[in-house]
């Protein structure tokens, strides 16, 4: 699963208001070249949307904004393939590790990374990336924490994507510019497909 993420290099971060939008959204992402999504629990439809896509062998669905063990259990039961959280909750991380569920907790400091190392984590989310120093901060962290790999999320766009992916410590970036909530809510799935295809072409131009 981690190899899939590393190959795709972009994880669309999605907030879905209606479960009926889950399948057409996944179709648009797949046609555009990114058969993956982190569906957040920021909306009531998040959990059901994960369940709606979990049985698709051609689509990698994960759960985002997971704050607790109870939520981790819920998304695991719904069929999520990986768990992402904005911060590092040791109880949630340990539950995921015990269940062999890939988990990427958010970190924003060396102290967070010390906790991640203590838990045995090799990959973490760097969040909110742009607001806490962006590429410069990651360059500073990858020196003393060379064994950790990062998934920067927060403020990532086409304009700075290449800067992040150029770092050897970055395996992928989380972004929402191709899956903005207003596009999903208004059913503009053709636009989502177009923006996703542009993102994948951008990756190809970077040699990814």
Instruction: Give catalytic residue positions.
Output: 38, 125
- Cβ atoms 138, 118 nearer than 8 A: no
What are the tokens at 159?
Answer: 């304009």
Q: Under 8 Å CB-to-CB from 81, ≥6 apart: which residues?
A: 1, 54, 60, 61, 62, 102
> 11 - beta bridge partners?
174
> 106 - beta bridge partners?
125
- Cβ atoms 202, 39 nearer than 8 A: no
Number of H helices, E strands in the chain: 10, 8
> 38 - beta bridge partners?
13, 62
Name the nearest CA neighbour of 47 among 83, 100, 4: 83
* Measured distance CA(97)–CA(163) in Å, rounded: 31
- Residue ranges of alpha helices (H) inside the chain are 2-8, 22-32, 46-53, 69-78, 90-98, 110-119, 134-142, 161-165, 181-185, 189-205
């Amino acid at each position: 699963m981690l190899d899939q993420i590393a190959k795709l290099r972009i994880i669309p971060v999605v907030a879905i208001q209606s479960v009926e939008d889950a399948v057409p959204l996944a179709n648009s992402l797949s046609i555009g070249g990114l058969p993956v999504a982190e569906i957040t629990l920021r909306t009531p439809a998040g959990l059901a949307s994960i369940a709606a896509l979990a049985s698709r062998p051609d689509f990698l669905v994960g759960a985002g904004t997971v704050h607790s063990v109870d939520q981790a259990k819920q998304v695991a039961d719904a069929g999520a393939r990986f768990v992402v959280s904005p911060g590092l909750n040791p109880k949630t991380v340990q539950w995921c590790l015990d269940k062999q569920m890939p988990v990427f907790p958010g970190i924003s400091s060396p102290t967070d990374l010390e906790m991640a190392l203590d838990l045995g984590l090799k990959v973490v989310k760097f969040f909110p990336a742009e607001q806490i120093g962006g590429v410069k901060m990651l360059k500073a962290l990858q020196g003393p924490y060379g064994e950790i790999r990062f998934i920067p999320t927060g403020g990532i766009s086409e304009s700075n994507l290449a800067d992040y992916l150029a770092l050897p410590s970055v395996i992928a970036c989380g972004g929402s510019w191709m899956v903005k909530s207003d596009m999903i809510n208004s059913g503009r799935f053709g636009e989502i497909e177009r923006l996703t295809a542009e993102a994948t072409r951008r990756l190809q131009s970077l040699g990814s």
